[in-house]
Amino acid sequence: MNKKFNGIGASSGVSIAKVFELIEQKINISNDKISDTKKEIEKFKASIDDAIKQIEVIKERALKNLGAEEAAVFDAHMQVASDPAMSKEIQDMITNEKCNALHATSVITGNYASMFESMDDEYMKERAADIKDVAKRIINSLAGVKSTDVSMINEEVIIVAYDLTPSDTAQLDKKFVKGFVTDIGGRTSHAAIMARSLEIPAVLGLNDITKHVNSGDKIAINGDTGEVIVNPSDNEIVNFENSARELEESKKLDAKFKGKKSVTSDNHQIEIAANIGSPKDVEGAKENDAEAVGLFRSEFLYMDAKDWPTEEEQYKSYSEALKGMGNKKVVVRTLDIGGDKILNYFKFPDEMNPFLGYRAIRLSLDKKDIFQTQLRALLRASVHGKLAIMFPMIATVDEFLNAKKEYDKAKEDLKKEGIEFANDIEVGMMVEVPAAAVIAKQLAKHADFMSIGTNDLMQYTMASDRMNEKVSYLYQPLNPSILTLINMTIEGAHSEGKWVGMCGEMAGDKNAIPLLVGMGLDEFSMSATSILSARRQISNLNYEEVKKLASEAIKLSTQDEVKKLLEKFNK
């Protein structure tokens, strides 16, 4: 029977293929008591080792297929699997209650997951998914059950599952897996983020799609509209095939922009760069013809490590990225840790508002030895390419000058040691704090360039936590307040003869691009897979026209009014 569903379009693309039902094997967990608690604890410990080994393998695969940013989720899994507090609670339950290991693991991990799930914070809710993923691994190992290995799929299918864990998603081979649909999940779930990186179409949050399919059914999915049809009619297949063709055509047209300059129809040139999280991501940046790396989030290097990464480790990583990009610029952002980004090996102070607290440049200026290690590594690597450095979260001129002082000290020290470094390194800053946008001109007297981090600029301007779904309606990139701050930054920097880029999500937003070009933004840094379509979009814009459009938009009162103006413009 033909059935239609509507879910959340989480990863773009249209596919029609056979259903592959990912069914969890049910494991019966009894509360049978055991007598040999020591043996049971050994069994439990072995299952933890087993889980850790599995996670290591998946992390390696994710690093290769998805890059550092997405692979970082498996560090969280590793933390859960090796969490001493949780492990102790399970072992205590085995010892004190003579509980079998399966039951104890199921109860304790279940308690932890429920605790995180009940939190209001979206980020914390995601941690519950991590705990369940790891718990499943430990329980399967204890029960001797092998879970379905999705990496072994070798025919064209669309996976239908209640949920797809990050471990499952990281292992999908896009040659065979043409898409996936799930009962639960949304656009910001790890599975969705990974699907977008892998460019596998996905529709999530379909409630009970698993109850309406059988293996072997045909299924059609549209990851843009969220439409799903089980056993589509011939007519419906034709419609889906047409949409797929249109998307393919669009991608082919994008591909024609490889090797071309990023210019408007009246020859106003800008630069389109890639955001990366590790040197491994350089490959994707080059494949998509990035003109530079506009943001290398160096914190992933720290988050992936077991301890503060050494100067040598960092030197290797920065050198690899610089060499990989050849003579193209690589903007490395110094450590942006704190807020939602934490380290296994460093205890952050307890704070009421971590996003307003001890993070990014504030931490680097407090922990000068750690800052010096990074600056020395960066300077040493600079001989291998075209390096630029920027400091995150600058709020005042003093902060920038203090950071610059540290940079000068690192240079002096290396000089004394007779160690070479490039002499043309640009040193800039991110504009993520509204205060910095307001005094962009004064800051630009000192900084070589500015890069606008809209993800944070938005949360600080609207006073709305970027992790909290209850206030996500305030994520309004087109609100005139945000547009005004962006415009002030660009005007301020330009008046001092400095260039301005943007590396927040907004830089790759199709709706925002005409306005940003119109405001005179010089560099757009975005996820590599968005670069060619942005270049194509820009080629169809007329600079004089979008200048007028931007100045009109800024004068409006609401995001909706700006959207209406854009609709009119796009007609």
Q: Which residue ranges make up the site for Mg ion (CB under 5 A)? A: 432, 453, 456
Give the separation between CA 322 and CA 387, rounded to whole angstroms.
7
Least Å distance, CB 300 to ligand PEP, is 10
Give the separation between CA 279 and CA 264, rounded to whole angstroms.
31
Which residue among 7, 504, 518, 520 contacts ligand PEP (CB under 6 A)?
504
Least Å distance, CB 464 to Mg ion, is 14
Q: Please, which residue, 325 or 506, has the CB nearer to ligand PEP?
A: 506
Q: Which does 188 bind (CB under 5 to 8 A by kind): ligand PEP, Mg ion, none?
A: none
Least Å distance, CB 127 to ligand PEP, is 19
Q: Please, which residue, 456 or 509, has the CB nearer to ligand PEP?
A: 456
Residue 191 is inside which H or E element, if any?
Answer: helix 190-198
Least Å distance, CB 210 to ligand PEP, is 34
Q: Please, which residue, 123 or 421, has the CB nearer to ligand PEP?
A: 123
Q: Which does 518 bind (CB under 5 to 8 A by kind): ligand PEP, Mg ion, none?
A: none
Q: Which does 277 bind (CB under 5 to 8 A by kind): ligand PEP, Mg ion, none?
A: none
> Closest Cα to residue 177, out of 211, 197, 140, 152?
152
Give the separation between CA 150 and CA 143, rounded to whole angstroms.
20
Least Å distance, CB 360 to Mg ion, is 8
Q: Which does 291 bind (CB under 5 to 8 A by kind): ligand PEP, Mg ion, none?
A: none
Give the separation between CA 359 and CA 176, rounded to whole angstroms.
42
Known catalytic membership, residue 99:
no
Six token digits for residue 57: 């393998």
Q: Please, which residue, 91 or 451, has the CB nearer to Mg ion?
A: 451
What secondary structure, in 3-state letters, does 490-529 show? HHHHHHCCCEEEECCHHHHCCCCHHHHHHHCCCEEEECHH
Q: Please, which residue, 168 or 432, has the CB nearer to Mg ion?
A: 432
What's the sign of the alpha-carbon dihedral 256, 262, 265, 267? negative
Known catalytic membership, residue 77:
no
Q: Which does 66 bind (CB under 5 to 8 A by kind): Mg ion, ligand PEP, none?
A: none
Q: Which does 328 bind (CB under 5 to 8 A by kind): Mg ion, ligand PEP, none?
A: none
Q: Which does 454 bind (CB under 5 to 8 A by kind): ligand PEP, Mg ion, none?
A: ligand PEP
Using rule CB under 6 A, residue 432 touches ligand PEP = yes
Which among 77, 190, 268, 384 is annotated as catalytic? 190
Using rule CB under 6 A, residue 277 touches ligand PEP = no
3-state class of 570 per DSSP?
A: helix
Q: Please, which residue, 291 or 456, has the CB nearer to Mg ion?
A: 456
Q: Other CB atoms closer than 10 Å to residue 141's CB: what's the count?
A: 22
Six token digits for residue 571: 């007609």
What's the sign of the alpha-carbon dihedral 518, 523, 527, 529? positive
Give the separation between CA 231 and CA 217, rounded to whole angstroms.
6
Using rule CB under 6 A, residue 477 touches ligand PEP = no
Q: Please, which residue, 453 or 492, has the CB nearer to Mg ion?
A: 453
Which distant-in-sequence residues (6+ apart) come within 8 Å of 556 by Cβ?
480, 562, 565
The upper half-sphere exposure of residue 94, i.e. CA atoms within 13 Å in the direction of its Cβ, equals 24
Q: Please, which residue, 338 or 514, has the CB nearer to ligand PEP?
A: 338
- Note whether 310 and 318 are within 8 A (CB): no
Burial class for 205, CB neighbours closer than 10 Å (0-12, 13-18, 19+): buried
Using rule CB under 6 A, residue 503 touches ligand PEP = yes
Binding piece for ligand PEP, criterion CB under 6 A, among 154-162, 252-260, 454-462, 534-542 = 454-462
In the window 183-202, what residues touch ligand PEP (CB under 6 A)?
Answer: none
Which residue among 179, 309, 453, 514 contacts ligand PEP (CB under 6 A)?
453
| Sheet (strand 3-6) strand order | 3-6, 227-230, 218-222, 14-21, 157-161, 177-182, 202-204, 8-11
Using rule CB under 6 A, residue 454 touches ligand PEP = yes
Which residue among 59, 137, 196, 297 contacts ligand PEP (CB under 6 A)?
297
Least Å distance, CB 343 to Mg ion, is 17
What's the sign of the alpha-carbon dihedral 489, 493, 494, 496? positive
Q: Which does 268 bind (CB under 5 to 8 A by kind): ligand PEP, Mg ion, none?
A: none
Biggest CA–CA distance in the chain, Å, is 81
Least Å distance, CB 358 to Mg ion, is 15
Least Å distance, CB 323 to ligand PEP, is 24
DSSP 374-411: HHHHHHHHGGGSEEEEEETT--SHHHHHHHHHHHHHHH
- Note whether 508 and 527 are within 8 A (CB): yes
Which residue among 291, 456, 465, 523 contacts ligand PEP (CB under 6 A)?
456
Q: Please, which residue, 268 or 297, has the CB nearer to ligand PEP?
A: 297
Binding piece for ligand PEP, criterion CB under 6 A, among 189-197, 226-234, 305-313, 452-460 = 452-460
Six token digits for residue 308: 């503060």
Binding stretches for ligand PEP (CB under 6 A): 295, 297, 336, 432, 453-456, 503-504
So which residues are the catalytic ones? Answer: 190, 503
